[in-house]
Amino acid sequence: MIRHTDVVVIGAGVSGLTSALRLAESGFSVHVRSAEPPGRTTSCTAGAIWGPHLVAHERALAWALRSLAVFRELATDPRTGVRMVDGVEASRGTLVTPRPGTGPDDVRRCDPATLPPTFTNGWRYRVPLIDMSRYLEYLSERLDDLGVEVTITDPVTAAELPRLAPLVVNCTGLGARELIAGDPVAPVRGDLLVAENPGLDQFFVEHDDDSDGLTTYLLPQGDRVMLGGSRSTGDWSTARNPEVADAILARCTAAEPRLAGVRILEHHVGLRPVREQVRIGPDETHPHVLHNYGHGGGGVTLSWGCAQEVLECAGAAVRTSRPG
């Protein structure tokens, strides 16, 4: 039955490609439709480090841990763009536990004397770092191997959505705001600089409370290093602001002096699709439409856990629609 069930996945970001892969591997006949190619999605602007930031859902940690297990395996193959990397999460305030909670490897408290100036406590651990442009290509190649077509088309409209296929998976991120009338998914703008890597091989992440403003993180990706970052709630602009870029570079250089004078190669701006809660599961009016969007600043981190949830919902939808 599953083998003959056509599914259209809308969206070619990390949520759409991962959901499509899980469905296709389980025997569904899958087609991906997207308004933008993978390389132009929000997903492609991410750093990306495993860790559920700006995400609300009671199952978020469970999804993140499921993804962690998959990323650990992917990290054994250099073609995936996924690597397990050591680094430090540090705070300027009172002692905190590492934000990703249970899961990261080799968690140990840092000697404060080894932290950058003004940081007073921190944790060292190992988590996946994902080179998103390489990783999205890798997911696309796996889909291609399974015969899944990814078509870049005009945006799907609200009227089309329920008519696309016997099963539809909505992975449109911030695009859901237009597709689903009245949906509250909203942007939290983020800026990230791509710089030449002066030899960094460990990440550094400032522990903060996810509120608006600037923060500090350095994510080495081979000969490049991703420098962040910023958060600006409700900001739809993707225009680059040189003042924000200068401020990010200054903060990162204060934390890691080897960044002084590095060449900036790119300035990414992305809009995180933030919702009061990740939306996952069947639509109330059209139960054959399964939603998977609103992953905030943690869509990469949640991707495999959410794709598994989509697969389970798809199986349930097929069983329900099967003639008795």
The reply to whether 118 sits in an annotated binding site is: no
Indicate the residue among 124 and 268 with the shorter CB distance to ligand FAD: 268
Q: What angle do CA 319, 323, 324 make, to 5 degrees?
A: 90
CA dist., res. 196 & res. 280, Å (int):
38
299 binds ligand FAD (CB under 6 A): yes
For ligand FAD, which residue of 5, 7, 9, 16 counts as binding (CB under 6 A)?
16
Determine if 232 is a binding residue for ligand FAD (CB under 6 A): no
What ranges in the chain are assigned the alpha helix state H?
Answer: 14-25, 60-74, 132-145, 176-179, 242-255, 299-321
Check residue 220 for interaction with ligand FAD (CB under 6 A).
no
Q: Which stretch binds ligand FAD (CB under 6 A): 29-37, 83-91, 208-216, 242-250?
A: 29-37
Question: Taking the complex as a whole, how short is the minimal distance between the CB of residue 297 and ligand FAD, in angstroms?
Answer: 5
CA distances to 137, 174, 306 from 23, in Å:
18, 22, 12
Choose the stretch contacting ligand FAD; rule: CB under 6 A; options: 119-127, 195-203, 254-262, 293-301: 293-301
Q: Binding mask 264-283 vs ligand FAD (x if CB under 6 A, - otherwise)? A: ------x-xx----------
Question: What is the separation of C-alpha 73 from the centre of its chain, rounded to a whole number of angstroms?
Answer: 18
| Order of strands across the sheet that contains 29-34 | 149-152, 29-34, 6-10, 167-170, 289-293, 279-282
List Cβ neighbours of 142 (8 Å cut-off, separation of 6 or more). Answer: 21
157 is in an annotated binding site: no
Rounded Cα distance between 54 and 286, Å, is: 28
| Interface pick for ligand FAD out of 259, 298, 309, 317 (rule CB under 6 A) | 298
Q: Which residues contact 121 (CB under 8 A, 6 or more apart)?
A: 90, 91, 94, 95, 96, 109, 110, 112, 115
Nearer to ligand FAD, 48 or 88 (CB): 48
Which range of residues in 95-103, 172-180, 193-201, 240-248 is near ligand FAD by CB under 6 A? 172-180
Nearer Cβ to ligand FAD (135/293): 293
> Per CB under 6 A, which region of 33-41, 71-79, 89-97, 252-260 contacts ligand FAD?
33-41
CB-based contact 115:77 (threshold 8 Å): no
Cα angle value 65/54/76 (rounded, 5°):
35
Query: Given the complex with ligand FAD, which of 2 and 137 has the nearer CB atom?
Result: 137
Sites of contact with ligand FAD (CB under 6 A): 10-16, 33-36, 41-43, 45-49, 155-156, 171-175, 179, 190, 192, 229, 270, 272-273, 293, 295-301
* Binding-site residue positions: 42-43, 172, 207, 217, 272, 296-301
